[in-house]
Amino acid sequence: DADVTQTPRNRITKTGKRIMLECSQTKGHDRMYWYRQDPGLGLRLIYYSFDVKDINKGEISDGYSVSRQAQAKFSLSLESAIPNQTALYFCATSDGLGARETQYFGPGTRLLVL
């Protein structure tokens, strides 16, 4: 079984709809991240969480919210989806070893907003 799972893997929605992307991990890591990837670009950080009570905004948090329901679960919500939020979304976890920490990514969720 995969260590980091994301659901759904693909999603099509309409402008204005609220949607939630879910991430679960079995690696036992405290740190979890949400990134988005647009064509021709690298990944950009949306939100990150160092534990259940710690949520932080990343580079591009506008239009998104997150919930850390448990150590193993971190959800990303789009309150009112818009077409420019069409992207590939990744969840990641890390072992928190400072600059040395390695992030492990889920398989990604492809989101299309019409």
Partner 1 sequence: AQKITQTQPGMFVQEKEAVTLDCTYDTSDQSYGLFWYKQPSSGEMIFLIYQGSYDEQNATEGRYSLNFQKARKSANLVISASQLGDSAMYFCAMRTSGGADGLTFGKGTHLIIQP
User: In whole angstroms, how close is the CB of 37 to partner 1 at the nearest point?
Assistant: 8
Residue 75 buriedness (CB in 10 A; 0-12 / 13-18 / 19+): middle
User: In whole angstroms, how close is the CB of 16 to partner 1 at the nearest point?
Assistant: 27
Cα angle: 85, vertex 89, 92; to 5 degrees = 145
Whichever of 59 and 79 has its CB closer to partner 1, that residue is: 59
Q: Which residues bind partner 1 (CB under 8 A)?
A: 33, 35, 40-45, 48, 56, 58-59, 88, 90, 92, 98-108, 110
